[in-house]
Structure 1
Amino acid sequence: MRPSHRGALPTTLAALILSVLAGCSGTHHGSAVAPAAPAAAPGSPDRRPADDPATWTLPLMRYLPTDAQARTIGRARETLTRDCARRYGITLTPEPELPPLGPKNVMDWRYGIHDRGLTARRGYQVDDAQQARYDAALRARGKLPRPSPDTSVVVSGTRLPPDVLAAAGPEARKGVVAGKPVPDGGCAGEAQRTLGTATQGVSPFVARLMTASYPRSMEEPDVRRVFARWSGCMRERGFRYAAPMDANDDPAFRPGPRGVTREEIATAVADLDCRAAHRVAEVWHTAETRLQNDVVAREAATLAAERRALDRTLATARRVVEGKS
């Protein structure tokens, strides 16, 4: 996993954004993240440590759940699904969460690498110990027993892959288990309707805006100028790239059996030096903030409605998690 030309968007929140957008990607693999910081009000100064983009915000983030809020909605969805399954005599065991992998939150790698210690060891790759823990947890999860076809019908309804549905019992294939009809979309669908969201609170509209501002920001005149200065700095060091994410996305540096090469580390260290010398991330973030402020003003009514919908979902989710539903 590494930052990419589309802006890093790790889970919990970012993976949800990616699933909503069905095909857009911000990292090479999914990862778990810490809660995102609250967004600054439009037009307000962004007080942040200049060297830690993980602490930065963007105006549209206020219309998305934080990672902590997305986890609350996820826990509520699991609780509702599990309670529903009990009506059919089925006890569901949640899969264990995977450990963190990659960027800390939705902003951490959005504008590229910035951690000098990690870059000097790993170039554009994630921490090796973190990757090892994640891979081990993924292997352990893969060894867990698979649910029976009838259980899959209870959880997800009858819109399953043909081979899974064909393996279910004759009544289950018709959407009936334990003599009771299965809700549309199964217990998971019922949970989504109760919470009022199929995406853990991530609005598809907001997700599209959040993603669209990233490539647009790279076309802003001040960003193009700072990219040109960065490119000149890299050329002086013997590396030819037109823009920062071109180095980051160089196919020669993709994860592979060779591991991290000296060439990758040398390139990444030079990249980081040139970013710092010309304040690339700061200029880029300022431009994207400006673009998003314009969008927030233009779409104020729709965004306010999306925020109200998110707040309703969060209120319901908290009641479920606290056992007050």
Structure 2
Amino acid sequence: MVEVANSAKLAKEMNRKRVRNQRNWFFVFISPWLIGFLIFTFFPILFSFIISFTDWDMFSSLHFIGISNYAKLFAKDDVFVISLRNTFVYTFMMVPINMVLSLAMAYLLSFHLKGMKLFRTLYYLPAVVPGVASSLLFARILSTNGLLNKALAIFGIQGPSWLLSKTYVLPGFVFLALWGVGGTMILLLASINSVGEEMYESALLDGASRLRMFWSITIPQITPVIFFNLVTGIIGTMQTFTQVYMMTSGGPDNASSMIVPYLYKTAFTDFRMGYASSMAWVLFAIIMVFSLLILKSSSLWVFYEEEVR
């Protein structure tokens, strides 16, 4: 009996050592990522939150001023208010159009027709073009004598100066963003192609039209991807930077100014890093609120197959 007890105790001790050894090796292998995350992500985020309560200019010592930066944003900074409004307008224009267009394109490209792979490739290619290259290209397309206005002139329409007009500059950015709609389209296309054919066959036997099948079968089945595209679309659009920085620098008369380009100018041109950090945290709070609202509403319209099971 004593020998059995000793053997059991020895086995338990060896098992503890094995678990401890596995845990130690786990931390060894994860340490490069963990160190990188702490140095390049966590500590910068924490530091930006701290300096948002200071008037730090990156050269002098930190001087805490409380919530003065946050109070100034909405009370005294007209450019920030304009940038915030433009960001909201651009987001509410861009995201719905992007969702509808990408869904329509994905559905049309889901049909198994001859040459469809070529069309899928062509529609997706703009999504992989770098943002700087796209901005330089569309700066020419949207210029007063650019390709878009020349195309409109064929139909007798006099196009505006897209990037010089306070009225049309934001729609011009929407036009540029829609050129790269292939990124969201490819996700929806993959989701549509994963819908079981037996559902469509059953609907056809019941006499359902293609429109009815699309609305009652396709849409509910791909709502998780629609949900993902909606959240990431809002997050990405509200952080628009490259187009504004490369094409208009916020002009004309701040008509295309948005939060992130204004934040960048405040931080690295005016050297008001504390004030810029407060803008970043306000933007973070706004994006967080929108994301939580969408997440909260998802239970009403997002369908997960596992829930049925």
In terms of Rg, which structure is larger? Answer: 2
TM-score by length of 2: 0.27
